[in-house]
Structure 1
Amino acid sequence: MNNDIINQVDTPVVSQGVKNKVLKNTYMLLAMTLLFSGAVAAVSTSMNLPHPGLLITLVVFFGLLFAISKFQNSAMGIVLVFALTGFMGLTLGPILNAYLSLPGGSSIVMNAMGVTGAIFLGLSAYVLTTKKDFSFMGGFLTVGIIVGFLAGLGAIFFEMPALSLAVSAMFVLLMSGLILYETSNIINGGETNYIMATTTLFVSIFNLFTSLLHLLGFASQE
């Protein structure tokens, strides 16, 4: 069984039916998790809940990512995906409140949401239409995300607004690339687990949205 999975990932022999099923299940689960996370974020915003803090956020986030990877082939994996996306929605509430308190804050949030949706739909449609293989981007994206993550931590700890803005701009590009990469993986048979595909796409959309919030929020104060 394990050899069959390895062969599916390493060779282009995954049937079109399997690819279509993974794509369908991924988008169905992604839609449900986006709605769930959005609902949790709305509750968190309305209740003005405090942010859990950087350390707790990182521990829970990476802990749940590890757990999802471990249980990706079971029903528990779906439960853990909802736990992760719900937690991310919870942490988004305080961030939204911070931007809503700015002059024109509602416009900033709506514009960020609209641009995020347009980027995701546009990139997804491009890959689904052209069926281009973006697997070559894997190594670049991995290195870029690690560098961006470390730079983001540096910007927080050393209070460097300019670096923080640069990281946000960097993550807009990286998350756009990750959407291309993961969608390409699904339609070309490189990703056959819809739970992992959903997790990757959700994290991409979340980081894309928060990065755009930061950039648009800064631009509105100029």
Structure 2
Amino acid sequence: MRDNPVFSSQSGSADSALSTNKVLRNTYMMLAMTMMVSAITAGLSMWMNVGYGAGMIMMIAAIVLIWFVLPKTANSSSGIYVVFAFTALMGAALGPTLNRYLAMSNGGEIVMQALGGTALVFFSLSGYVLTTRKDFSFMGGFLMTGLVVLVMVALALMVGSMFGFHMPAASLALSAGIVLLMSGFILFDTSRIINGGETNYLMATVSLYLNIYNLFTSLLHILGVMGDD
């Protein structure tokens, strides 16, 4: 007896929707837990007064984890530990930066404004995609091009600072560009999850985490410059 084509199509769509909802639910649960882990390790890093050198080493170690280790473990339970280790290192690496801003006269206000701004942007953009279910996959090429350009600008500014050339206006423009780019990536990555483009919740978690992390640090820089007396 042949399967009813209408029934099969509806069954397949239902299975696909259930799978997508599962990935979405697991992603946001994992994202919330990794944010808590990062907050704890950032607090410990601040309390221990970790320096920028140690912070840079931890960030490099975190990058190694997601570039070389996570792709090999993303489909196993080991990947969960890799993601937690990655976010713990990223949180600890943020400690020196937070200490520097908190040392300013209005540092606490700046950090809270950056946190609030990050939350507002993330929840607004994610909520828009989840509500409309629009497909933002068309932004992929533009976002990757923008990412390459911003990385090149960041490297140029880094090399320039090593030779004594400090360009605060360019650095501020770079942070503004990162804010816009990360906002685009939030739309793009959330859209990929709900439209089936990303089926691994660990990889999805890392993508959204990096969007939030870079958005927060860039807003922190912008607010810090604007609020510096």
- Is TM-score (shorter-chain normalized) higher than 0.5? yes
Pairing of 1:1-222 with structure 2 (within 5 A): 15-52=16-53, 56-57=57-58, 59-66=60-67, 67-159=69-161, 160-221=167-228
CA separation in 2, counterparts of 1:151 and 1:65?
23
CA separation in 1, counterparts of 2:56 and 2:105?
30
CA displacement at 1:55 relative to structure 2? 6.1
CA-atom RMSD, angstroms? 1.7
CA separation in 2, counterparts of 1:80 and 1:52?
23
Give the TM-score normalised by the residue count of structure 2.
0.87
What's the secondary structure of 1:49's corresponding residue?
coil
Is the 8 Å Cα contact of residues 55 and 94 (structure 2) preserved in structure 1? no
1:29 counterpart letter in structure 2 = M
Give the TM-score normalised by the residue count of structure 1.
0.90
What is the match of residue 6 of structure 1? Answer: none
Is the 8 Å Cα contact of residues 22 and 194 (structure 1) preserved in structure 2? yes
CA displacement at 1:153 relative to structure 2? 2.1
Q: Which moved more, 1:153-162 or 1:117-126?
A: 153-162
Is the 8 Å Cα contact of residues 49 and 94 (structure 1) preserved in structure 2? yes
Structure 1 unmatched ranges of 5 or more = 1-11
1:19 counterpart letter in structure 2 = T
CA displacement at 1:141 relative to structure 2? 1.0
Deviations 1:87-128 (A, max 9, x none): 110110000001011120000000000000011000110000
1:129 counterpart letter in structure 2 = T
Q: Which moved more, 1:156-165 or 1:81-90?
A: 156-165
Q: Measured at CA, do residues 13 and 172 of structure 1 come closer, stay the same or move farther in structure 2, by a change above 3 Å?
A: farther
Q: Measured at CA, do residues 139 and 100 of structure 1 come closer, stay the same or move farther in structure 2, by a change above 3 Å?
A: same
RCO higher in 1 or 2 (8 Å CA, sep ≥ 6)? 1
Deviations 1:34-86 (A, max 9, x none): 00001100111122111236863563233111211221111111111111101
The number of equivalent residue pairs is: 211
Q: Which of structures 1 and 2 has the bigger CA Rg?
A: 2
